[in-house]
C-alpha cells in the first residue's frame, strides 16, 4: 500500500509512520504544515527510507492536495492533522475551526475527486481513515459508564467541538457520496516524542528541572491512558482490516486520575533520578494546584471491546509499563526535547521559521 498520512510530524502521526516503515513493506507520504507541534526530528529514524516521503503543505490548500494525490497516488488516507490542545483552543479557537473543520472538508473533497477517477479495483480498495478523539463524547456521569461507538456527541471545548464537526463531515461523505471512510476515536495518548506542553511530558521535564508541577483543580479528573505505540498498531489494523462506514473506539484500559498520574511520575523519578535539584526533598513537593480550566470534563473512559472483538486488537502496554518507558525515554532523549523547548527543532534543516 501507498498511504498518505496527514499530520505525520505530530505526536501520534509520527508514531504511525515509524510503525509502518519499521514493521511493514508499505510506503508513506507524510503531509504536514509543520505548525508548532510538528517536528520532523520525531521521524529521524525513518526519514532516509526509500518508502518515506515528506510534503510540507496546509491541508486547507486544495490545489496542493490535488497535486499530492495525482503525484503520489495513495491507496489510503490516514487523517491525523489537527490542532489538538484544549487550552490553546480556549485561548484562540480560530485555528481549530480552520484546520479541524475546513481542513477536513478540503481533504475529503480532494480525496473524493481522486477516488472518483480510480479504476474499479483501486476504488473498491481505497480507504479514508479519520482519526479522532474520545473528547467528542463530552463528560461521563457515572463511575462505571464507558464511551461506546454509539455514545451521543456532547463536546465541551472548542477543540472537541471542532473534532466532532470533522467526524460528522467524514460520516456524511460516506453516506452521501459513498467515499469509503472509517472513523476511530481514541483516549488520551502518551509516550515518546510527546510535545512538552502536554500533561505527562510537562510533569517529567518540570520535575527534573525543579519547577512546579501544576495540576488543574483538585486533580481528580479521570482519563483513559493509551500508549502511543499501541495506538499506532491499532490505527494500522483499522486502515488495513476495518469495515468502511464503521467507527472503532481505541482505549488503553487504564483509567487514572490526573493526580495519580503525576504522583506515579514522581515515584518513578525518585527511583530513576534520585539526585534532585537543590532545595527539593521529594518530587511530590513540587505539586501545585491551579485554577481549573473552563468546561473541564471530569471523566473519559473508552469501551474498546468492538475493535478487540472484530479486529483482534488489544493494547500491549499496561499503564505501569508504558509510563516507565515514557519517563525513561525523556530522561534518555534530552536532545530531542531541549530542541523543542528552545525552538531550534524548527530551524535551518526544516527550512521554516522558529
User: Maximum CA pair distance of the chain?
Assistant: 69
> What ranges in the chain are assigned the alpha helix state H?
11-23, 62-72, 86-91, 94-96, 104-116, 120-125, 158-177, 199-208, 228-241, 258-272, 305-311, 319-332, 334-342
What is the Cα–Cα distance from 313 to 305, expressed in whole angstroms? 9
- Which one of the listed residues 41, 134, 230, 297 is annotated catalytic? 134
134 is catalytic: yes
Which residue among 105, 137, 159, 345 is the active-site one?
159
Asked whether 258 and 199 are in contact (CB, 8 A), the reply is yes
Contact 95, 83 (CB under 8 A): yes
Tally Cβ neighbours within 10 Å of residue 55.
Answer: 18
Of residues 32, 83, 135, 167, which has the active-site annotation? 135
DSSP string, 208-223: HTT--EEEETTS--EE
Instruction: Choose among 39, 34, 31, 123: nearest CA to 76.
Output: 123
Q: How far is CA 302 from CA 21, 23, 65, 129, 232, in A?
A: 28, 27, 33, 19, 17
CA separation for the pair 181, 179 (Å, rounded): 6
To the query of whether residue 159 is one of the catalytic residues in this protein, the response is yes
Grid cell digits, residue 40: 520532523
Q: How many CB atoms lie within 10 A of CB 143?
A: 9
Its sign, for the CA torsion 328, 329, 330, 331, is: positive
Contact of 182 with 248, CB cutoff 8 Å: yes
Helix (H, G, I), strand (E, B) or coil at 54: strand
Measure the CA–CA gap between 177 and 184, rounded to whole angstroms. 20
Whether 292 is catalytic:
no
Active site residues: 134-135, 159
Amino acid at each position: 500500500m501507498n498511504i498518505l498520512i496527514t499530520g505525520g510530524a505530530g505526536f501520534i502521526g509520527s508514531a504511525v509512520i515509524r510503525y509502518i516503515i519499521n514493521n511493514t513493506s508499505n510506503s508513506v507520504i507524510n503531509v504536514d504544515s509543520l505548525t508548532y507541534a510538528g517536528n520532523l526530528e520525531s521521524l529521524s529514524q525513518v526519514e532516509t527510507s526509500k518508502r518515506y516521503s515528506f510534503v510540507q503543505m496546509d491541508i486547507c490548500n486544495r490545489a496542493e492536495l490535488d497535486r499530492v494525490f495525482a503525484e503520489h497516488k495513495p491507496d489510503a488516507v490516514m487523517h491525523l492533522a489537527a490542532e489538538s490542545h484544549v487550552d490553546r483552543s480556549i485561548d484562540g479557537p480560530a485555528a481549530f475551526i480552520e484546520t479541524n473543520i475546513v481542513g477536513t472538508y478540503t481533504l475529503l473533497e480532494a480525496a473524493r475527486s481522486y477516488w472518483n477517477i480510480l479504476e474499479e479495483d483501486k476504488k473498491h480498495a481505497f480507504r479514508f481513515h479519520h482519526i479522532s478523539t474520545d473528547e467528542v463524547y463530552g463528560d461521563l456521569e457515572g463511575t462505571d459508564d464507558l464511551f461506546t461507538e454509539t455514545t451521543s456527541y456532547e463536546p465541551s471545548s472548542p477543540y472537541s467541538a471542532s473534532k466532532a464537526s470533522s467526524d460528522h463531515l467524514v460520516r456524511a461523505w460516506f453516506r452521501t457520496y459513498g467515499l469509503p471512510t472509517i472513523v476511530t476515536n481514541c483516549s488520551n495518548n502518551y509516550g515518546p516524542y510527546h510535545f512538552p506542553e502536554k500533561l505527562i511530558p510537562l510533569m517529567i521535564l518540570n520535575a527534573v528541572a525543579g519547577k512546579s508541577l501544576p495540576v488543574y483543580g483538585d486533580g481528580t479528573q479521570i482519563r483513559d491512558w493509551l500508549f502511543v505505540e499501541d495506538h499506532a498498531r491499532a490505527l494500522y489494523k483499522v486502515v488495513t482490516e476495518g469495515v468502511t462506514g464503521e467507527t472503532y473506539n481505541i482505549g488503553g484500559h487504564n483509567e487514572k486520575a490526573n493526580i495519580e498520574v503525576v504522583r506515579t511520575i514522581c515515584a518513578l523519578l525518585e527511583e530513576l533520578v534520585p539526585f534532585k535539584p537543590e532545595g527539593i526533598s521529594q518530587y511530590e513537593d513540587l505539586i501545585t494546584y491551579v485554577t481549573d480550566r473552563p468546561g473541564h470534563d471530569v471523566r473519559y473512559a473508552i469501551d474498546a471491546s468492538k475493535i478487540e472483538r472484530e479486529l483482534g486488537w488489544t493494547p500491549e502496554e499496561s499503564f505501569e509499563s508504558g509510563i516507565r518507558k515514557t519517563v525513561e525515554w525523556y530522561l534518555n532523549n534530552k536532545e530531542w526535547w531541549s530542541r523543542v523547548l528552545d525552538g531550534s527543532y524548527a530551524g535551518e534543516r526544516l527550512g521554516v521559521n522558529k
